[in-house]
Chains A and B, each alone.
Chain A
Amino acid sequence: MKKLFQHEIVDFFVKNSIENFVGVPDSTLKQFISYALKKKKVIITAREEEAIGIATGMALSGSNSLVFMQNAGFANSLSTITSLVQLYKIPLIFLIGWRGYLKEDAPEHNKIGKIQPDLLKIIQLQTKIISDKNWKEGCQWAINKIESNKSCALVIRREFYD
C-alpha cells in the first residue's frame, strides 16, 4: 500500500474516534506506524498479546483502540483473541500486515501466510482486506463495527519484496 494512503488511514481513524494505536511494528505497516508515532498516539509493546491487553484496558475505559501487528503476531494472539476479546466482547480493530501473501516471500512467512485467511475465518473474526483503492470503505466498516461494540480485522497485503 502506498505511503500516502497509510498516512490517510491514520488521519481517518483519528478523525473517527480511534484514540489509541497499540501494537508490534511490521514492515508492511511501517508508514502507518511511523505517521501515527509522530502524532504521539502509539504504544509499542514487546508482544502482540500485551498490546491486546492494553487496548482492552483502554476499551474498558471507553476509549477506542486499534491494535496493529504482523500476521505472525496474529498467530501468537489466537488464545488472547478467543479468551479475552471474544469472550468478554471487547470492541477492538485489528490491523494486520499480511506476510506470505506473495509466494516468494521469506520462508518463515510462507506457511502462516498461506493459512492466514482460514485462521481469521475459523476464529470468526470478521475481516476486510484493504488496498489503495478500497481503504476508506474498509476503515469505515471497521468504525461501524467498533461503534456497535464488535471487534474486527483489517488486513493489508505485503505486495513487494525487499
Chain B
Amino acid sequence: MGVLISLFLLFSAADLCLARPLPTRDNGDQPTAPEPSTNTNAPAAPAGEPMAHPEPKEDEEVRKPVPEKVMRATLPAALTPARHGDTSGSYLIGQRTLVEDYCGWGWVRKEGESWNKGRWIAIEYDPKACPAPHSFLPRPGDDKDYLYKLYGEFAPYRAYEPQADVWVDVFLIRGFVSLGPAKDTIRRDPPHHGSSKPNRFAERGANVR
C-alpha cells in the first residue's frame, strides 16, 4: 500500500518530488528571466514586457515600525546630533547617569571593558568647539542612560564634589558619537566617602537665589 501511495505522489506532483537540475557553469553566467509562477490564478505577463512587481495582497502582512523605535525617535534625546565635534583618535564609551546634587556627567569605560572598571567623570567643554551632548536637549536630564562615544582627554586637574567631599576626574570633551539608549541603568554609586553616600547631604547646596 505504501508503495502505491508513493507512486501516486510521484506522478501527481512530479515538480515537488523531482527538483529541477541546477544550472551548469556555462549557462549560469548568463542572467535568465525568472521562471513563471506555477500559480495558475496569477495573470500571465504579456510576452516581451518586463515583469511587474506583484501588488501586495490585502491579507499580506505589512511591516510596521516597532513601537519601541517610534518611541526612541520621539524622545527628546533624538535631538542630540549623531556625531559632533572632532571625532578622531581614541575614545571612551560613556553612559549618561544622573545623580541629584552630585557633581559630574556619568560613567565612562574603555571599549570592551565592563562597567565594573568604569570611572565617574565630570565633563568640561568649550561651548564653541564641542558642547556636552545634553546641552543640545531641552533639559539636561533628557539623555539619561544614553550611550556615547566620547572623544577627548582627561584634564590634568580634578573637580571637587562638595556633597561627598571627593575629587572626580575631569574629561575635556572634543567630540562625541551618539549610540542611542543603553540596555540597562548602571546601578552603582558614584565615588563617595563611606559616611557620605550621594544625596545624604542633598540639602547641602551652596547659596540659593
Say whether A associates with B. Answer: no
Q: Which A residues are within 8 Å of any B CB, using their own CB?
A: none
